[in-house]
Amino acid sequence: MLFSGCGGAIAMAFLFLGGENLNQNKHNHIYLAIISLALLTFIGILNETSMNVTYPKLSRQFAVSLDTIQWITTGYLLMVTVTMGTTAYLLRQFKAKHLQLAAVLAFTFGDLLCAMALNFPMLLVGRLIQAMATGLSTPILFHLIFTEIPRARLGAMTGFAGMVISFAPALGPTYGGWISEVTSWQLIFWLLLPFVLVSLVLGQCFIRNTPLGNTKRFSYGSLISLAVALFSFVYAFSTIGQAGIGWPLAAWLVVAVVSLAVFIYVNNHGESQLFDLRVFRVKPLRLSTLTYFSLQFINIGISLVIPLYAQYVLGASSTIAGLVLLPGSVCGAFIAPFAGRLADNQGFAKPVTFGGVLLMIGAACFAFLQTQLTPFLIMAFFLVLRIGFNFAFGNTISNATVLVDARNSADVNSIFNMVQQFAGSLGTVFLAAVLAVFQNNGTGSLASRTYDGGRVDYIFLTALAVVVLCAIIINYRLQKQGKSMVK
């Protein structure tokens, strides 16, 4: 019921956005195609975090630790990231309709594996297969927007896409918590299948764009080295939960840095590229990438920490732990398209800067008022944070696309979608590892140990929010001065 209402709201939002053009038949297929991919993307991203509130239950059922269980989210995000690395090439080689079909089939197969999982490895494999589908659908969604929607409406449409991406992960714990509270966690997966079918029908009927064209071979070396680098970065921080800051962390970070260097060399000097890294010669684009990464790190990270904190420290049920995120999720999500329209009318600087300020205030409330936290205050602080996030998030990627030539839009699309997913995986594993360190090595009750870990997480997220605001201010100052190619 809850999920049905949210899915319907998103479809209605897209229809409303295109309302003045929807009565023209030539535009109908564009909006319906976008709705099909928005629905599949929403399902996939909601699925990322829907299991967060089930960690304690899954830990007991499968007899594995918290920092192992979190890989069903971290691994999901990491696989999404790696898959997104292929989309700049795939969109040049294959029709978007065929890629959407592949995404639907992969998600369905993975979903069935998860729903029937008998053990933790089976659940993890199913999640990874689902993640491949999300890694395809999200860039295709943005690709259709950037290539089919007029420039005058780009901010508003990207705002709605941002609504999907930001609403889904915060709604996930509410959806997962309610389902796991009233029935079994397996139903979380079964209930997704009807919506996947709707996405399939709409997509195969209305996605009509053609491939961008590509005659080069796929760069497997670039993909493998990038995948190793991303996995190594994430796994390095996951070791903190058990080993603390020691040689495992250092060793994996060395592997990550070396693999990243190999990727950059192979990508730049090989016969073909996953994406054109020369776009980073544009300094405002580098700042936009940092902003986009940090926004999603905070968004996904705090959506993990809050439900766990509410359950372990405040003694809340999984339903309540998920519900405290709902008002912020709903309000923030429906603000996103209006933030996009504001950017269309007044430029990107004002809404993004305003969002950065609210994000910092919301994060600071968690850090400095932790002793007073109750479910109601968590709800209020998260509401402020999410409003700020949604003012900044969609407009950041919209602004990034206008900083480069149109021929590089697929590269920026692929890079930014990878960045936001990698940020989510890193945020999940790092913040969960901090909680695990205190839970495993602290003193006192489990509630007090989790409280201490939560304090470190909240302070870190506040510091990152300050970095976001500084990057935003510098970015738009440079753009105002016209220094788009400062190296």
> Rounded to whole angstroms, how far apart are CA atoms 4 and 49?
17
What are the CA-CA distances from residue 4 to residues 108, 198, 320, 461 (Å)?
18, 12, 20, 32
- End-to-end Cα spacing for the chain: 51
What does the DSSP 8-state code read for residue 144?
A: H
Dist. CA 73–CA 50, nearest whole Å: 9
d(CA 466, CA 359): 9
Q: Which residues contact 462 (CB under 8 A, 6 or more apart)?
A: 360, 363, 364, 366, 367, 368
Count how many residues are written for the chain: 487
Packing angle of the helix pair 326-346, 2-17 (nearest 10 deg):
10
Report domain extents, the chain.
Answer: 2-218+272-481, 219-270
Task: Tell me the CA distances in angstroms from 423 to 223, 233, 277, 338, 416, one per residue in order.
Answer: 18, 11, 19, 25, 10
- Among 313, 432, 333, 436, which residue's Cα sits nearest to residue 378? 313
373/457 Cα distance (integer angstroms): 14
Rounded to whole angstroms, the Cα distance separating 112 from 354 reads: 43
How is residue 87 written in tokens? 């989309």
Burial class (CB in 10 A: 0-12, 13-18, 19+), 26: exposed
Sign, CA torsion 94/395/363/6: negative
pLDDT (tens digit, 9 = 90+) per residue, 210-250? 665 665 677 788 888 988 998 898 888 877 766 667 788 88
Q: What is each CA distance from 20 to 31, 153, 364, 423, in whole angstroms? A: 12, 12, 41, 36
Give the contacts of 53 (CB within 8 A, at least 6 positions apart): 173, 176, 177, 180, 307, 311, 318, 321, 322
Vertex 277, ends 290 and 410: CA angle to 5°? 90
Per-residue tokens: 457: 């997480």
CATH placement of domain 2-218+272-481: 1.20.1250.20
* Measured CA distances, 177 to 10, 42, 180, 428, 444 (Å): 21, 18, 5, 18, 27
314 three-class SS: coil
pLDDT tens-digit profile, the chain (487 residues): 444 445 554 554 555 455 544 445 556 678 888 889 999 999 998 888 788 778 878 888 888 877 788 788 878 888 988 898 888 788 878 888 899 999 999 999 999 999 999 999 999 999 999 999 999 998 898 888 877 777 777 667 777 787 777 677 767 877 888 888 888 889 999 999 999 999 999 989 888 776 656 656 777 888 889 889 988 988 888 777 666 677 888 899 999 999 999 999 988 887 777 778 888 888 899 999 999 999 999 988 898 899 889 988 998 887 788 788 889 888 887 888 888 888 888 889 999 999 999 999 999 999 999 989 999 999 999 999 999 998 998 889 888 878 877 677 777 877 888 888 789 888 888 898 888 888 877 778 888 888 999 999 999 999 999 999 999 999 999 988 875 444 4
pTM for the full model? 0.79
Read off the tokens for 142: 């943005």
All residues at 6 or more sequence positions from 330 whose CB lies less than 8 Å from its CB, including other chains: 167, 171
Inter-CA distances, 155 with 213, 345, 346, 350, 472, Å: 27, 9, 11, 13, 17
Structure tokens at 159: 């705002």
Q: Using alpha carbons, list the distances in angstroms from residue 455 to 190, 362, 377, 440, 479.
A: 36, 15, 16, 16, 37
Question: 244 with 437: CB under 8 angstroms?
Answer: yes
Exposed, middle or buried by CB within 10 Å (0-12, 13-18, 19+), for 432?
buried
User: Tell me: the pLDDT tens digits for 58-111?
Assistant: 888 888 877 788 788 878 888 988 898 888 788 878 888 899 999 999 999 999
C-alpha angle 149-151-153 in degrees, rounded to nearest 5: 70
Confidence (pLDDT) at 486: 43
DSSP state of 54: G
Q: Which two tokens stand for residue 143?
A: 């690709």
Q: How far apart are CA 3 and CA 261, in angstroms?
A: 42
